[in-house]
Structure 1
């Protein structure tokens, strides 16, 4: 936590620094983001967090994509289901010294919260911790898209339209957002196979916090995670060579000493 704060380069009254925390679902990047923000505030910095999950397209816009491009685009998560103009406008306003409202998304309701519920910084930020499941991930080469990676791709998108559309969005639209990151940390799990259990723990926590609302059962969650599998596996291959800092995690999410990427 303190190392991440120090690596961000943030200082009170200085220009905004954006610390990116990338990790597969359930890796703990949201928890770490909150801890870094709390430590920054204790140190006298103006700090806040934003998640890539908070800038998903609204349910209505995803339904429109499902109707016009491919039915799988109704499900939030893969590249192409984020409101990148909203994300970029927010980050640029923060860099300009403004105090825009920070978007928030309701995962159990599967839709963006009303703007009246978005938090707003009280003063210009010194540090924004921006976390997300695919933060910094590059697009795949065309040859890598030839074969399905799971039953969802094989049975529900056999012609490859969906994965190619998502990959095109990742190549075309996301680099401008990744360029807003001053520093990128990658929380590296031991493999994609642990994501199901980690994300199931997260789902149960969400439902326990709001017991009157229904979430996903294990079967629904298993299908949901197949939407993320391709890009998650690509992240595991690529981000250790792209992030300034990689933090290996064991199956219990215990971190090993961080590895720093040498740029010389």
Structure 2
């Protein structure tokens, strides 16, 4: 807990002193002139049709992904794996490594190759495969631990492709002076989903067994695939217009 708090403090200090402001000075003045809670801006943002799809998609993905923090350690401690808590931690290290590689270095190149909308489809598909891989791995006995490792990698890669891409699309739905409102709304709904996910996973684990939360998460991700495909086919964003003009 103290280590996590210390890292959060370092992030806060780094962001405050070193992170440059991307908003132009004139637009920044307009943005800071608003009230602390801009109700009119909130209502205007929710009237954007494509934002609703983005929020629903992100909430479903967040509920599915956040449930592993409550259920995954218990899952790998159960037979046939029977891992200790220290061994379980290495799977979260794996998630961190893949996230750092993709979000820290590859996401820009992947975005140039595929674009945000395709990356979202790829991301939710990888996450769905990762979730379904966990209960299937449990059927294979102790050798299934390699399947758990593969599923963890798929989850991490999918989430790392999806999250920055969906936030990028959300930021394209508003003028630069309104982007903070849009991103704040999206992150607020994601935070609510992040509260709900572990609770849902824990209840399902307790009532229906240790593999059921992952089947449920895979089912949710299957629905997310259809939403992502719809967003890819019918969504119109600023980058689409710029690419068409080029």
TM-score w.r.t. length of structure 2: 0.27
Tell which structure's C-alpha radius of gyration is larger: 2
* Greater strand content: 1
With CA pairs under 8 Å and 6+ residues apart, which has the higher RCO, 1 or 2?
2
TM-score w.r.t. length of structure 1: 0.26
